[in-house]
Structure 1
Amino acid sequence: MQRSILVTGASGFVGGALLERLQTDSGKSVIAVVRGDRHLPIPVSTVRIEAFSQQTQWQPHLANVDTVIHCAARVHVMNDTEADPLAVFRQVNVEGTLNFARQAAEAGVRRFIFISSIKVNGECTSPGQPYAADDMPAPADPYGVSKQEAEQGLRQMARTTGMEVVIIRPVLVYGPGVKANFLSMMRWLDKGAPLPFGAIDNRRSLVSIDNLVDLIVTCIDHPAAANQTFLVSDGEDLSTTALLSRMARALGKPARLIPIPSWILECGARMLGRKALSQRLCGSLQVNIEKTRTLLNWNPPVSVDDALAKTARHFRMNQAK
């Protein structure tokens, strides 16, 4: 009997794109895990759960599963209003993940692929000094701490159970259907609004959804991926100014970027209580994917400009609806 791949978070941005790719070309049976009555755009064997916690019972759904790809998580929340954010992140990202992985190991799952976050490494880098996969972790917020603790628990489980664990830490993921700040950026560019970001000389690594999904699929069976941690990006780092210019070009719009010095933007953001947003716009965050390239013989198959063009086409089609 053919063994299956089980994907959690299948209705999310990463999980949905992964599900579509697996259905198209993996040649393997796929099981999608979603919470509640969330909709999946493609027909697939589906498991619906009410919560992702330490009490969730997974055994009925793990029979004949070879590989788990764990995309589900409580994601980073800007301006979190929880009284104890770390405790809430731990409930899902640590306790829920390790409960799931423990039951997966007991069920004989061969490989557990965990989609973590670059926030395990930290929040920023000096230009030209990118994070590497095996650097000492330095998470700076509750989300990053919870992901690091989950990684630690999974590595320990791999040592004691023999289940192979693969950890992937993406940087900012974009692509068709992207939301949050990236979508806001496209809306402003599409309106032709002047933006004060024409003189930002930072460097940031990004990863298109297609490149991330390609790496995840590579890690399903690649023997060298077992019990390794990988960083992933498009392989080309951009300044905020360059990203806006190239996104505008993909949208077929002029980039009206006013060259305001970064230090003025940073001061203004601090005065308005938007320091975190300022860091994303003006600060650098780069990753070195040489380990990923070398160990897996993997290179990002989609260029930045092709990925931006695909993102822009999706944005245009949905604007017309």
Structure 2
Amino acid sequence: MNKILITGITGFVGGNLRKYLDGKFNILGVSRSKDSQSICYQDLGARQLNDKKAIIHLAGKAHDLKKTSEDKEYFEVNTELTKTLFDQFLESDCEVFMYMSSVKAAADEVKGVLTEDVTPNPVTVYGKSKLAAENYILSKELPKNKRVYILRPCMIHGPNNKGNLNLLYSFVSKGIPYPFGRYENKRSFVSVDNLCFIINELIGNTEIESGIYNIADDVSLSTNELVRIIGRAIGKPSKILNTPKFLLNLLAKFGDILPIPINSERLQKLTENYEVSNLKIKKALQKELPLSTEKGIEKTIASF
């Protein structure tokens, strides 16, 4: 059975990926502290990678919505750690390197549909640190026997990981009317099940070319559609109000000062357009994703 290394194995994606790949591969985690099922970063080197089929680099510093992190922390974790691991990969006999980047490495705002051809222009330090790691990987010459995949997922969701769906779930489950009905938007999501499916396919399929791949479900949803799906999933009616936008903008400005559920950043997240194309990865896989967008959302909501 082939061996693989997964960094960030104790995180949300890492935990799901371990379950998904269990029985298909001999899995070893990489963590800050060594235990019976993991190796610490300090002990990792090219020698430890020599007998591994792949290293899947999930570990990273996530976007800090509270903005309490220093910029250097993002570059230390998202950029420098990735550079070290990638150098070790190049020196080893390991065949596949997979880097979990983000669509935020390409753009914080999207007009139209985001594809891999866009010229990256991240605004946040999170996106910039991810892009810096991508650029380092792409700057190195790759031996013919190795494959490298830079994955840019949009918002990942799955059982027990509420993410940005938490606020919408709160509205519906508590019977609170959703007040943003006047906003018409489209956002892309990806279920952790589909993400794990793609990772598994990339490990095993030697025909898929190295490169950057956006990761998203097939269909984008408006926030109003999300609210309706949540209502159906938990068996409660979804109430959507067409509150005037100027009132909501005013409320969001109060939320920037006072501890209320809505602030300017949340309002933007709930109502902005952010569509991501998955055509490149689907063409490479030549397979359909196992979960539809709606079924994936329903599975996540059912776990709350």
Q: State TM-score, norm by structure 2.
A: 0.90
* Residue 34 (structure 2) pairs with residue 34 (structure 1): no
State the distance in 2 between where 1:134 and 1:310 align: 32
Aligned with residue 109 of structure 1, among 85, 94, 103: 94
SS at 1:159 equivalent: coil
Residue 227 (structure 1) aligns with: 210
Alignment: residue pair count: 297
Residue 238 (structure 1) aligns with: 221
SS at 2:142 equivalent: helix
Question: Larger deviation: 130-139 or 216-225?
Answer: 216-225
Residue 59 (structure 2) aligns with: 72
Aligned with residue 298 of structure 1, among 280, 287, 291: 287
**1:212-257 CA-partner distances (Å, limit 9, x unpaired):** 1111111112234332111111111111111111112111111122
CA RMSD, 1 decimal: 2.2
Aligned with residue 169 of structure 1, among 152, 157, 161: 152
Deviation of residue 161 (structure 1)? 8.8
State the distance in 1 between where 2:242 and 2:39 align: 50
* 1:31-180 equivalent positions in 2, closer than 5 A: 31-36=28-33, 46-49=37-40, 56-59=42-45, 61-82=48-69, 85-126=70-111, 129-159=112-142, 163-180=146-163
Change in Cα spacing, 1:191 to 1:69, as seen in structure 2 (3 Å) is same
Aligned with residue 277 of structure 1, among 257, 266, 271: 266
Question: Is 1:134–1:229's contact at 8 Å kept on the other side of the alignment?
Answer: no
**1:155-212 CA-partner distances (Å, limit 9, x unpaired):** 1234379642101100001110113332333233212222212222011011111111
State the distance in 2 between where 1:261 and 1:67 align: 52
Change in Cα spacing, 1:287 to 1:30, as seen in structure 2 (3 Å) is same
Question: Is 1:158–1:165's contact at 8 Å kept on the other side of the alignment?
Answer: no
Residue 287 (structure 1) aligns with: 276
Residue 259 (structure 2) aligns with: none
Change in Cα spacing, 1:57 to 1:36, as seen in structure 2 (3 Å) is closer
| Structure 1, unaligned runs of 5 or more | 39-44, 316-321
Question: Is 1:251–1:312's contact at 8 Å kept on the other side of the alignment?
Answer: yes
Identity of aligned residues (%): 29
Question: Is 1:47–1:61's contact at 8 Å kept on the other side of the alignment?
Answer: no
State the distance in 2 between where 1:81 and 1:8 align: 24
Question: Is 1:34–1:46's contact at 8 Å kept on the other side of the alignment?
Answer: no
* Residue 201 (structure 2) pairs with residue 218 (structure 1): yes
The AA in structure 1 aligned to 2:105 is V
Question: Is 1:6–1:65's contact at 8 Å kept on the other side of the alignment?
Answer: yes
The AA in structure 2 aligned to 1:71 is L
SS at 1:112 equivalent: strand
Question: Is 2:162–2:300's contact at 8 Å kept on the other side of the alignment?
Answer: no
Q: State TM-score, norm by structure 1.
A: 0.85
Change in Cα spacing, 1:187 to 1:244, as seen in structure 2 (3 Å) is same
Question: Larger deviation: 212-221 or 88-97?
Answer: 212-221
Question: Larger deviation: 301-310 or 243-252?
Answer: 301-310
The AA in structure 2 aligned to 1:99 is T
State the distance in 2 between where 1:262 and 1:217 align: 44
The AA in structure 1 aligned to 2:87 is R
Deviation of residue 132 (structure 1)? 0.3
The AA in structure 2 aligned to 1:169 is R
* Residue 303 (structure 2) pairs with residue 314 (structure 1): yes
Deviation of residue 264 (structure 1)? 4.1
